[in-house]
Structure 1
Amino acid sequence: MKLQLNAISRAITYAIASTASVGLFSTTVMAEESGAKKEKIEKIAVVGSRAAPRSVGDSPVPVDIIGGEELSKAGGDDMLELLKGSVPSLNVHQNPISDAASLVRPANLRGLPADSTLILLNGKRRHRSSVIAFLGGGINDGAQGPDISVIPSIALKQVEVLRDGAAAQYGSDAIAGVINFVLKDASEGGSFSVKQGQFFEGDGDTTTFEGNVGLPFSDDGFANLSFQYKNADPTSRSVQRPDAQKFTELGIEGVRNPAQVWGAPEIKDDITLFGNVGLDLSNSSQFYMFGNYSERDVEGGFYYRNPETRPGVYANPLKLVDTNNDGVINDKDDDSHRQWLVADLTSDGTGGCPEVIFPIGEHLVNQPGYQDVMNNQNCFAFNKMLPAGFTPTFGGNITDTSLTIGTKGEIEDGFMKGAYYDLSGSVGRNESRYFMTNTINASLGPDTPMEFSPGKYIQLEKNFNADISKGYDFDLAYDVNVAAGLEWHEETFEVIAGDEASFIAGPLTSLGFGIGSNGFPGFKPSAAGEFTRRNYAAYVDVETPFTEEFLMGWALRFEDYDSFGSTTNYKVTAQFQATDDLSFRGSVSTGFRAPTVGQANVSNVQTNLSSGVLVDSALLPPTNPVSQILGGSELQPEESDSYTFGAVYQSGDLFMTIDYYNIQVEDRISQSDKIDLTAAQKAALKADGVPNVDSIAQVSFFTNDFDTTTQGVDVVANYSMDMLGGYSTFAFAYNWNETEVDKFSAITGDFKVKRLEKDLPQHRATLTWTQQWEDFTGFVRYNYFGEYQGVHVDYDATAIMADPSVTFDAELTYFATENISLTLGANNIFDQEAEKLDFQKGTGIPNNNWGGKYYETSPYGINGGFYYVKATYTF
């Protein structure tokens, strides 16, 4: 395979300031020919600077460049997993049983939530997903970031990762850094590949078809098109729940084994189409257009509904009952009981249905009156309809589309002669349509359907940019680059109500039966609607080369929102070339992250575990009167201060960087802890017109409640040499990251603070050895994951500190002909297990109480080793 190299001079000619920097003209990281030694090409990046593109070593801020060829060297096809293997400061968790977070997985750069990293495509701001991670595993609770998984590796020339706060340059969300995905722009050639993979456990079969083709677009342009189509079976790393096993032993038929599944969801018909078009309009101007269409269905499981204990369906817990008949209720002498939910279906209440109250811990089927209800056609209980309990299935159809059109070039006349301009407009839309199966609306009793459509979320964003850049001669080492620009942005979050059965309060509501599709009640018409916010920004960016050895950059950005007002942020960068081999660099900046429109307006009902019991929890807007009673208020932007200091060493074939960073974030936006409702607060909810209050046990809301300080060190090193009759490249990357919560209140809670500080490993490292021969290439990658907090079912009593772990990845490619290559590889080749649940290390919680085998916060997942084969045809 042969990749075209763009001339660096052309990149410099057309590189100008855009609000999100121009990434179209970065050179290819490596030139490759089948059967020939790879020669190292200087890596050029535009992200992080609004002057001409810079080599990574000359950048005053840390930038990683990951070539498209490197991204394709992994077993999975999820872009998040591909990046995780190359960027140690990027952590990605699988989120089994976590509502919509299992549909669009969040990622964390430098220990900050998914929406603290700005995502660009070809240098333009990428729209965020419509999915809000209501159950985001602590650090991502409430995060709403872009859906990176829709971007296929085969469409990419390279990825640029700016590991530095950059909100003063690019606007909101760039607190942790910026990731710029650069699409291929070749006008000829292409490839087609088929990949098949499976986990060592024998499940999770994944089949991927992908292709890319470069076509001429007239004599002066290109049209580069890519596609990916994927299907992935679910996985299960579960054991049978002990309560489900007891029902089997009691002779109850239909109990599934396992009753509850922990694993990866099923992905069906995952189709992605990307296009990138460019056309030279003249010698000094160019038209460009790029966009995508992506759609997939994702389906996973929820918690098992125990046929004796699930509140609102089978039995509600009662307070202590005077079991010793002494007239005094005492928590030492009396027992807790449950009341079986039974409905009399007769119109006059003469069905003869007994009241059944039984002690917690005893089986319902052994209670007097149980058979009387089961054999009486006038009585209804869900034990008749679903005697073995049930496990809802939750899924969604995710559709993502975008289109960017613009023109750029050089001004040839007038007082701005020699300046470079870029004018563009973008629109992006992400829709998540949810569905529930194998569940019920308990309040509808025997008339309930078992499939529901709870509704949709839609995120729509529009962007317009006007940018200009010009060099001025001030008798310094070379021209001072001055860039300026304007941006207008509109963001709309829309909620579409679900079908009536998914939210309606049925005739059994007054008897204590739960309302709405169990597990994920539908969005009510009262919660539906469109919520829109607009903002505009203006910036100026100057790079000053005082000498050949000393460069400084200055950026100032003003942004005004029609919701919370305006903000102004700055950034100062510097680089000093101490010797031919050694340079120093650093930055100081302020930043911000605006609350999303969804975070400010969304309301929802979630099912979550509270002290090991399933309860319904309402997420309310922060301005709701009940939220305000509990400490909520209108959301304000996060504000950050960050600084970095580092060094770059280059000598021959050795390249090494080390960078220290410190990011202080005030008023961080997140979902509050789940707060138990008192009787008075429920009365306030009813007075505010909130329906079905009695079925809600807890409330949460988005809030600016806590401050954090995140600090760390990144080390990156590369070395190439001739070895073993071929060409060898060694790449090492290490990250130390530590987050400390400086201030918080009971709204956040102690356990969430523990999750913020300890869930992610503080130490991560990778070491990759790539070897190339005439007909073979291959690599071995060592991955180190330091100590982290193991958490199961988001429950404090299960948390432990898990031991460090090591995994290995390996791949070998054989070039059968000039056009055909065959690949065999594996991730986690030695099948390193995640930390197992262990009640001896915890606080006495049985390790399979909820059917799990591993702590799901494992930084390398819970599914184990994955092997794959791949065939590629290149033309």
Structure 2
Amino acid sequence: MFTTTALAMALPVAAHAADATPVTAPDVASDIIVTGTRTTGTKAADSAAPIQLLSSSSFQNVGQQDLTQILAQSLPSLNFQAFGGDTANLTLTAALRGLSPNDTLVLINGKRRHFTANLAVLGGSPYSGSAATDLSFVPTASISRIEVLQDGAAAQYGSDAIAGVVNIILKSSDHGGSLSTTGGQYYQGDGKTSQTSINAGFKLGDRGFINLTGEYKYHDFTQRGTCDRRYYTPTCQVRSDINPIDAAGVIQNKFAPNVNNILGDAQYSLFNLAFNAGYELTDGVQAYAFGSYGNRHASAYENYRRATRVSGVTSTGETVYPFPAGFNPREMLREEDFSLTAGLKGAIKGWNWDLSGTYGRDSVALYTVDSVNPDMWAQIQAQNSTLVTPQRNFYDGTISNSEWSVDLDVNKDFEVGLSKPITFAFGGQYRKDAYGIGSGEFGSYYSGGAQSYPGFSPSDAGVNVRRAEAAYVDFAIDPIKNLHLDLAGRYEHYSDFGSVYTGKVTARYDFSPAFALRGTVSNGFRAPTLAEEFYSSVNVGPGFVAGQFPPNSSAASALGFSKLQPEKSTNFSVGFVAHPAPKLQITLDAYEIRLRKRIVPSATIFGYDSSYTHNNGVVSQAVLDALHARGISTVDATSYAGINIFTNGADTRTRGIEATVDYASDFGSAGKVNWSIGFNYNQTKLQRIYPLPAQVTNTLDYSQSQLLDLNAQTGLTTATPRVKTIFNALWTMGRLSVNFRETIYGSTSQAVSYSGSGYGDGATVLRIGTAGITDLDIGYKVTKSVRFDIGANNLFDKKAPTVPNYNGRPTNGSNVYDAPYTFTPWGINGGYYYARATFNF
């Protein structure tokens, strides 16, 4: 497909070039870029690697002003996490090219941004294992533009740049600013959202600037699905076969009949501050600094607990139930995020240098609220003759992630008689990372802990540190006219797993001002995050217990698991850039990414499964012993008990095509239209799945032999759309603007298990067909300084498909009837409308 398309375009383009004058692509494509190249003055249209630019003006046409949403609605190769389970619902993320969010490196002004501490632990999700940069802490009003390099770049930037690089360039204006306020909600009437931001620039004397941004966002709960299948029939009638106390309880519950709120958005409030500053110390030396502070408070509902789930006996022998209507526990966090970069840069005799230091930290205090520790309360109740009010709120502990780095970058152009000077660049980095878990209060983890999310026990707690040193060289050469080569090499040494070498070769040849071919070959790596290596927790649900074991622990080693090693990648891409007509630009790039020892979350590895009819349900005694050794009670495991672990568990191959078309048309008095099409085809295949260690394997009659069950396999390969196309048209006429965007999502599917085990009972494949989602924004400038917008995302309220039932139960093992497919690429909530006012000064 790529070859025939390139040849078909090359012939008419070459003929056109004979009498054509050079043209540039419309709008932002002619801007100077700093990502993917160390050559000064490179334009996006001249890049040897595929790169897309988003200007701050394009943010205006997106209703939900979270940065992750803006990227997902603008880039065909980026997909947004629609829903997360447990604490993953409190920190949603996005991913490039169908890979893990951890495989995309985020930079701020070219400097590495730290990760969140909140690890997504959600088996089967394509976003599971994510501990990437939390883009919600970067206020959109602080951004001048975003450069997205869609190419492997580990040799240029280090770990994590396997899928690409997102470089966020902050505003540097020393005057003026803007004030914006937005409000909206979903068509269903929930998820009320508000945002207010202010940005202003100021002079620092006569040689400097400081640009300041403040932002506040609020988003309310949503709830999708209907009744809880444990207590209601599919028609939402209370079941006749349940305990009468529980039947009365669900009727009394304030959310009845939809008593289970687990499927929906978390509620959050978020406050951000950011600054960007620079000062010319001398004519050749500039000091600079930028940073941010963010504070988030968020909570998400978990599964409803019935009235009889918590009972006690008084000292006089009476049985009491403290929650006659049952209860709806929530997981809650209070998160602080901080980042600061300071540095000096300048030039000495043609040598450009940049020396900087960056410190970033994310700290998450976790709580379980509106819950109870049943065993602890029952012991207290047994000593009293009257009903004792249980403790409802528990501090579960704190997780934190910090990164400290020192960077030196040097480059110089040398004139050696070639068509252009050679750019020689070199530099190095020292980095220290730390990940810590602090234990919660005693009641949060004692005897199984509080319902829904037990706290971290002292055996989970600890601080783990990693050090890394890196050095790189980069040569940019034009050996003959119109041929550009970029050669990069990098060496890194990590204190926890040793040394890694990476390299990259990039080439571009311009046949004419209207047509160029380009391609890259590189190898890369991703160091496992410290969260993946050392995170430890327990998840207690209605009827199950699952322990998340850290792979770098003695317990994991005893079960036969090795310590995490870095992912290794090989990247190839080839493509073209064409300007077949004035104001028209077309790009197409085909790519392949081979990942070896990919870090994946295992499927649940079972110690006990009630559906297993042999050996009293014991699938692996070693797993049960490991749970008990960590002080994890399995008394609540009426359905199953098991563990999950991150491990180097698969080799994958991702192939795809990325294409863009940009055109600007002028209709005179009828206005102007900027047209764009973005297309991504992306297919990931599993080349190898690593076996389970012998200690936990059960192949006699249970088929527990692979790290990944069907749910986990399809989570990696088919749960994100293979095709995503974005059609965008921005019409402006005088003070009026209308932005129309149609996003076409290709089909997706995922295998789910009826019992939730994923091994013994087969699977049902849930499928979503091709769907189009329409977004519309209408803006009007009342004056040059005042603009109002109204609009809608998912204008026609396209709903997520709902899980079918089998024998009266949802086929994915969910407790909620009519639950939306949580992997729906456009989200589970339906249409969203909004209004915005913007004041420029």
TM-score (norm 1): 0.83
Cα distance, 1:736–1:638 mapped onto 2, change above 3 Å: same
Mapping of 1:195-594 within 5 angstroms?
Answer: 195-245=182-232, 247=238, 250=244, 252-253=248-249, 254-255=252-253, 256-257=255-256, 258-307=258-307, 313=309, 378-380=317-319, 384-411=321-348, 417-446=349-378, 447=380, 448-505=390-447, 515-594=448-527
Identity of aligned residues (%): 30
Tell me by how many angstroms 1:389 deviates: 3.2
Tell me by how many angstroms 1:625 deviates: 4.3
* Structure 2: tracts of 5 or more residues without a match: 1-23, 381-389, 608-617, 692-705
Match of 1:665 in 2: 595
Q: Secondary structure at the match of 1:504?
A: helix
Tell me by how many angstroms 1:101 deviates: 1.1
Aligned partners of 1:837 and 1:847 also within 8 Å = no
Tell me by how many angstroms 1:482 deviates: 0.6
2:161 counterpart (174, 182, 187): 174
Tell me by how many angstroms 1:125 deviates: 0.1
Tell me by how many angstroms 1:606 deviates: 1.6
Amino acid at match of 1:78: D
1:755 counterpart (709, 715, 721): 715
Distance 1:454 1:134 in 2: 16
Amino acid at match of 2:659: V
* 1:772 pairs with 2:732: yes
Distance 2:546 2:628 in 1: 19
Match of 2:662 in 1: 718
Distance 2:452 2:789 in 1: 43
Match of 2:647 in 1: 703
Any idea what the Cα deviations from partners look like across 1:18-69, whole Å, max 9, x if unmatched? xxxxxxxxxxx99xxxxxxx97772221100111141112111000000011
Distance 1:42 1:106 in 2: 30
Aligned partners of 1:799 and 1:842 also within 8 Å = no
1:67 counterpart (45, 55, 64): 55
Cα distance, 1:775–1:72 mapped onto 2, change above 3 Å: closer
Aligned partners of 1:423 and 1:466 also within 8 Å = yes
Tell me by how many angstroms 1:843 deviates: 9.8
Aligned partners of 2:105 and 2:160 also within 8 Å = yes
Tell me by how many angstroms 1:484 deviates: 0.4
Distance 2:533 2:824 in 1: 31
Aligned partners of 1:237 and 1:863 also within 8 Å = yes
1:55 counterpart (43, 65, 69): 43
Cα distance, 1:691–1:111 mapped onto 2, change above 3 Å: closer
Amino acid at match of 1:743: R
Distance 2:805 2:591 in 1: 38
2:75 counterpart (87, 90, 93): 87
1:157 counterpart (141, 144, 160): 144
Distance 1:670 1:846 in 2: 21
Tell me by how many angstroms 1:281 deviates: 1.5
Q: Secondary structure at the match of 1:503?
A: helix
Tell me by how many angstroms 1:571 deviates: 0.4
Moved more, 654-663 or 294-303: 294-303
Tell me by how many angstroms 1:161 deviates: 0.4
Mapping of 1:805-816 within 5 angstroms?
Answer: 805-816=771-782
Match of 2:743 in 1: 783
Amino acid at match of 1:575: R
Match of 1:680 in 2: 621
Cα distance, 1:773–1:812 mapped onto 2, change above 3 Å: same
* Structure 1: tracts of 5 or more residues without a match: 1-28, 31-37, 315-341, 347-376, 412-416, 506-514
Tell me by how many angstroms 1:801 deviates: 1.5
2:116 counterpart (89, 106, 129): 129
Aligned partners of 2:83 and 2:265 also within 8 Å = no
Q: Secondary structure at the match of 1:243?
A: coil
Match of 2:838 in 1: 872
Amino acid at match of 2:281: L
Distance 2:27 2:238 in 1: 65
Distance 1:238 1:596 in 2: 35
Cα distance, 1:866–1:263 mapped onto 2, change above 3 Å: farther
Aligned partners of 1:682 and 1:694 also within 8 Å = no
Aligned partners of 2:795 and 2:832 also within 8 Å = yes
Match of 1:14 in 2: none
Cα distance, 1:793–1:438 mapped onto 2, change above 3 Å: farther
Cα distance, 1:832–1:793 mapped onto 2, change above 3 Å: farther
Amino acid at match of 1:108: A
Aligned partners of 1:422 and 1:467 also within 8 Å = yes
Cα distance, 1:791–1:299 mapped onto 2, change above 3 Å: farther
* 1:638 pairs with 2:550: no
Tell me by how many angstroms 1:858 deviates: 0.6
Count how many residue pairs are aligned between Structure 1 and Structure 2: 758
Aligned partners of 1:800 and 1:841 also within 8 Å = no
Aligned partners of 2:231 and 2:238 also within 8 Å = yes
Q: Secondary structure at the match of 2:643?
A: strand
Match of 1:823 in 2: 789
Distance 1:441 1:840 in 2: 33
Aligned partners of 2:470 and 2:493 also within 8 Å = yes
Cα distance, 1:843–1:691 mapped onto 2, change above 3 Å: closer
Match of 2:125 in 1: 138
Aligned partners of 1:632 and 1:702 also within 8 Å = no
* 1:863 pairs with 2:823: no
Any idea what the Cα deviations from partners look like across 1:732-789, whole Å, max 9, x if unmatched? 1000000001111312233211211110010000111101111111210011011001
Tell me by how many angstroms 1:595 deviates: 0.9
1:738 counterpart (683, 687, 708): 683
Amino acid at match of 1:544: I
Distance 1:134 1:662 in 2: 28
Distance 1:673 1:39 in 2: 47
Cα distance, 1:110–1:621 mapped onto 2, change above 3 Å: same
Aligned partners of 2:803 and 2:810 also within 8 Å = no
Amino acid at match of 1:302: E
Tell me by how many angstroms 1:601 deviates: 1.5
Tell me by how many angstroms 1:600 deviates: 1.3
Any idea what the Cα deviations from partners look like across 1:155-187, whole Å, max 9, x if unmatched? 100000000000111011001000011110001
TM-score (norm 2): 0.86
Mapping of 1:81-120 within 5 angstroms?
Answer: 81-96=69-84, 98-120=85-107
Amino acid at match of 1:559: E
Amino acid at match of 1:77: Q
Q: Secondary structure at the match of 1:718?
A: strand
Match of 1:652 in 2: 582
Aligned partners of 1:267 and 1:296 also within 8 Å = no
Tell me by how many angstroms 1:464 deviates: 0.3
Aligned partners of 1:454 and 1:521 also within 8 Å = yes
Aligned partners of 1:401 and 1:430 also within 8 Å = yes
